[in-house]
Structure 1
Amino acid sequence: MADSKRTSESINFVHQDEIWKAHVKVEKDAAEAWPNKWGFLTEVYKEYERESAKMKSVVSMELPPHLAPQPATPPEKYIHVGPSPPVPQTTQALIGWRSGRSHLQLEKHGTVHHGRRSFLRELGWPLDACS
Structure 2
Amino acid sequence: MADPQRTSEPVNFVHQDEIWKAHLKAEQVSAKAWPNKWGLLQEVYRECERQSVKLKEAEREKHHHLAVRPPTPPKENTHLGPPPPFPQTSQAVVGWRLGHSHLQLQKYAPVRHFRRSLMKEMDWPFGSCS
State TM-score, norm by structure 1.
Answer: 0.40
State the structure with more CA Rg.
2
User: Which structure carries more helix by proportion?
Assistant: 2
State TM-score, norm by structure 2.
Answer: 0.40
